[in-house]
Amino acid sequence: MQNARSRHDSMPPTTCDLGEVPGFRDLPGALLQELQTICRKRSYALGQTVSEMGAQSDVIGVVSDGILRMQKSLPDGRQHVVGLLVGGDIYGRVFDGGSHFSVEAASDAEVCAFDRPKFEALLLRSPELDRLLLLNMMSELDRAHDWMIILANPRIRGRLAGFLLLLCTRFLTVDHLITLAGRSIRVHIPLSRPDVAHLLGTRVESVSRALHSLADDGMIEILRPDLVDIRNIEALSEETGEPEMPDTGALARLIRHTAKRPD
């Protein structure tokens, strides 16, 4: 973690192009300009700490590329993942409210970092930015609820199925995490087994077994530990028991996409 260049500057911080970031690109030009002036681009390598839980980092961040993970630090030193952040997502304790989690890079990632006081000042002056933040918060809350429903599945297989489907729907638009390979959906899992296990409330062995169990039933194919092909998304969806899928629309499109090719 300290071996290469130190903490925050694997790359020299520069202004970043917010026009590229989903959500921000629709903001009025003048506001965008102003945001540009108070932001610095920062790059993080996989595993680097972006923001500590305890310390008041006084930074508001917007993910511009890659994936970050929110996690709560447990007193015993372990970390518990409570969510993932992708392009356009905002983190940081605005107005000192909530957000008592730390942030780590789940892949090589880039963020736009804002000085908190300046960001808050701008927030008070700009209804558009304020609204963006509010909506962001709301969808974050929605996603947390989706997580809860997945976690509430009594069977590991079901939880894992829900997890995979969540990755599909959430990361469909993002990056190179989801690709369509033939008539199956290729999903990259941006978490290590221990993290997945902890997130799903189980152990690594169970995750491994459940994953291979799904593979044995032909629903998925395991290409690498962190790369699986979904061959039968409908079966996977039924596996969750509760067809309460996040964003059924996107899922439906995916299904049609994969079903379009006969045989």
- The CA distance from 101 to 72, in Å, is 5
Contacts of 54 (CB under 8 A, 6+ apart): none
Site string for DNA, 2-31 (x = CB under 7 A): -x----------------------------
Over its C-alpha atoms, the chain yields an Rg (Å, rounded) of: 19
| Shortest separation between residue 205's beta carbon and DNA, angstroms | 4
211 binds, among DNA, a copy of itself, none (CB under 5 to 8 A by kind): DNA
Site string for a copy of itself, 191-210 (x = CB under 8 A): -------xxxxxx-------
Q: Which residue's CB is nearer to a copy of itself, number 51 or number 153?
A: 153
Walk across the sheet containing 184-188 and list its strands.
Answer: 178-181, 184-188, 227-230, 220-224
Residue 180 is given by DSSP the state E
Cβ 94 vs Cβ 119: under 8 Å: yes
172 counts as binding a copy of itself under rule CB under 8 A: no
Distance (Å, whole) CA 214 – CA 49: 33
Half-sphere exposure of 220 (CA within 13 A, CB side): 28
Which of DNA, a copy of itself, none does residue 224 bind to, with CB < 5 to 8 Å depending on kind? Answer: DNA
- Should residue 210 be labelled a site residue for DNA when binding is judged by CB under 7 A? yes
| CA–CA dist 87, 111 (Å, integer) | 9
Q: Which of 202, 221, 235, 238 touches DNA (CB under 7 A)? A: 202
Residues 6+ apart with CB under 8 A from 256: none
Q: For a copy of itself, give the closer residue by CB, 178 or 199.
A: 199
Q: How far is the CB of 191 from DNA (least distance, A)?
A: 8
Binding residues for DNA, rule: CB under 7 A, are 3, 154-157, 192-194, 201-212, 222, 224-226
Binding residues for a copy of itself, rule: CB under 8 A, are 70, 72, 74-76, 78, 80, 82-83, 93-95, 97-101, 124, 127, 130-131, 133-135, 137-142, 144-145, 147-149, 151-154, 198-203, 242-244
